[in-house]
Amino acid sequence: MANLHFHYGVMSSSKSAALIITAYNFGQNGTLTEVIKPSFDTRFAKSQIVSRIGLQCPATSMNSLDTYIPHPDTQVVLVDEVQFFSPSDIDKLVHIADTENKIVMCYGLMVDSNQQIFPASRRLIEVGAKLHRMESPCQIHGCSKLATHHLRYDSHGNVIHAGEQFALGDSNYKSVCRHHYNELYNAKTRQR
């Protein structure tokens, strides 16, 4: 079994819920598991992972993984919102997976709202993490295609085309299929 995994999908594809369920299942069989989240993610709670469907679990909030050392008895490390970590943090996870023989499972976004891959996500691909796409339908009413992109909106309902790659919140985002992304991202008039 691969010991480095990347579970990726668009917003609202149940990534955090899947992590919480995975942590619970490992705990049920006595597997010591550590759960980590980036301190950048302050949406719900500093030391918890909370899914939109109400599931939650305790987590250690960290700025960086440079000094992170899992407990010797830990068998599994789960990382939420991995896109907010750095490529060097991913290298640290690779070291933990390969030299400490621990299962490392990362959950997060692959690309931002401008179709740019996050540096940490790119690094996970480069180092050969086993990829698991988490699927979700397009959030445009009446569309049932696979959501593969994010649109980010300003407070007036206009699509944002530039800016920070790291931005929190989901009320100003919509997960959409490629067709609707291209249609709305390039539209001259706003549509939401």
Residue 176 is assigned to a structural domain of this protein: no
* Dihedral (CA of 81, 86, 91, 96) sign: negative
Residue 172 is assigned to a structural domain of this protein: no
Q: Concatenated DSSP letters for 122-150?
A: HHHHHTTPEEEEPP-B--STT--SBP-EE
Express each pLDDT in 75-86 by its tens digit.
999 999 999 999
Q: Measured between alpha carbons, how far is 111 from 119 in angstroms, rounded to an integer?
A: 9
- CB-CB contact of 77 with 93 (8 Å): yes
> What CATH number should be reported for the domain holding residue 101?
3.40.50.300
**Residue 32 has which token pair?**
């010591």
Residue 173 is assigned to a structural domain of this protein: no
**Residue 119 has which token pair?**
């540096």
Average pLDDT over residues 131-142: 94
Q: CB under 8 Å to 110, separation ≥6 — which residues?
A: 8, 9, 83, 117, 118, 121
Residue 167 is assigned to a structural domain of this protein: no
**Residue 95 has which token pair?**
């070291």
- CB-CB contact of 17 with 51 (8 Å): yes
pLDDT of residue 3: 93
Residue 166 is assigned to a structural domain of this protein: no
Express each pLDDT in 68-115 by its tens digit.
999 999 999 999 999 999 999 999 999 999 999 999 999 999 998 888
Q: Measured between alpha carbons, how far is 119 from 83 in angstroms, rounded to an integer?
A: 7
Residue 12 is assigned to a structural domain of this protein: yes
Residue 174 is assigned to a structural domain of this protein: no
Helix, strand, coil tally for the chain in percent (to 5): 25, 25, 50
Express each pLDDT in 3-38 by its tens digit.
999 999 998 899 999 999 999 999 999 999 999 999
Residue 41 is assigned to a structural domain of this protein: yes
Q: Measured between alpha carbons, how far is 139 from 52 in angstroms, rounded to an integer?
A: 15
Total count of domains within the chain: 1
What is the value of pTM for the model shown?
A: 0.89
pLDDT of residue 110: 96
Domain span holding position 71: 4-133
Nearest to 118 by CA among 2, 3, 10: 10
pLDDT score of 172 more than 70 = yes
